[in-house]
Structure 1
Amino acid sequence: MWERIKGQIETCWDKHSSQTSTVITSAQLAGVAILAVGVWVKVDSGSLLGVLDNIEDAPAELGQLANVAYLLIGVGVVLLIMGFLGCCGAMKESRCMLMLAKEILEDLSEKVVASIKKDYGNDGSLTSLWNGTMEQFKCCGFRNYTDFDGSPFQGNPTISEVIGCFNMLLNLIEDNAVIIGAVGLGIAALEIAAMVVSMVLYQQIGNK
């Protein structure tokens, strides 16, 4: 099945290379957009919170937007770098760049979990960010409470909820912001498409 899909993608690449380049370029644009939002939230967080306070029936969880400015900046930078690597890798036919873009995408979730285990309870700013997020969203960890295995939190639990914050965030987006959810899914689909295209190009270059 994979061989058939790969063949179809290769044929599509040969006939529609400009569209493929558009996918990779769009990943860069998504990174720029997220980076810009993160910088705006960080610089103008006071005004943002003031706007949220004036919105009737606004979910209390929206107040956490000011705490994720650095996360948005980080994600934006990563997407921008991935788009750059994918674009340059396709233009220069560099297998190294294409593989690097794929590895970055695969390592993102692993690094989040590793950061929890290593720095939670030791890094004050990270601990405060996670505590505020978990208390606000009534969740525990990135995937679930097992993310804290081996961390200082394991021996001193204070939150009884065992649902992962990632799933809680998805639920929040689904319940309170359909447009945000659509944008998020679009970015995710874009990144998956960019990764698949990168791998096809990687194999094509290797066969030359």
Structure 2
Amino acid sequence: MSNEKSKSILVVNSDPDIADLFAEMLLSDENNYIVTTTFTGKGCLWGINKSKPDMVLMDIELPDMNGWNLTEKIKANNPDMPIVVITSKIPGIKDMLRLSHVSDYLMKPVTLDGLQMAVKDAFEIPSLLDQCYKTVIDYKENENMMYLFYLFKQNIIDRKRFILMRQLYSTKKLVNDPESKKILDNLKEKINASENEIKHFKNKPPIISLFSNFEIGKVN
């Protein structure tokens, strides 16, 4: 039997029935999460101060507080706390620029697999990056290794943003939305540029052995 402490998740949703539904979806996961619910932004901040959950699963549309303002308040005192956002509204351009502050951004209707995968990634990816950091910091080529580490970390964030934008903004829609097209094009260029740098570094031992499992490719 594992001695590892079960992860706790605070579900924040203005509708108690939906909050309970998300809680049930999480409780059905094999990871045996501890789940609590609250229905307002103030309730969320109170719950964090009282119980110190490991993650917040938050509907961005709350009755008493803008969801993005709530995210900023959470991160101000808990910078490493994962936040998975759920919304029924298509994110605007400003929302896209805020995605780096959250672990994932889910559109309703949320599937069981989609929710459980987003939560799993939010818990595991930072841990994997930390392990990578601890591994590379001991190498002689420390500056190169650290730079590569941060490239990987930012690449993960940028890819999530790009994939979401491509799902929401079709090529036809972008023709009539030059601002969104510019942001998407700049993000694509940034991702491809970082991937070219990563490939360059991966050809150097001992970096090859450390990062050989990371498969990357250009985005289209």
Does TM-score exceed 0.5, indicating one fold? no
TM-score after normalising by structure 2: 0.26
Query: Which has the greater radius of gyration?
Result: 1
Q: Decide which structure has greater helix share.
A: 1
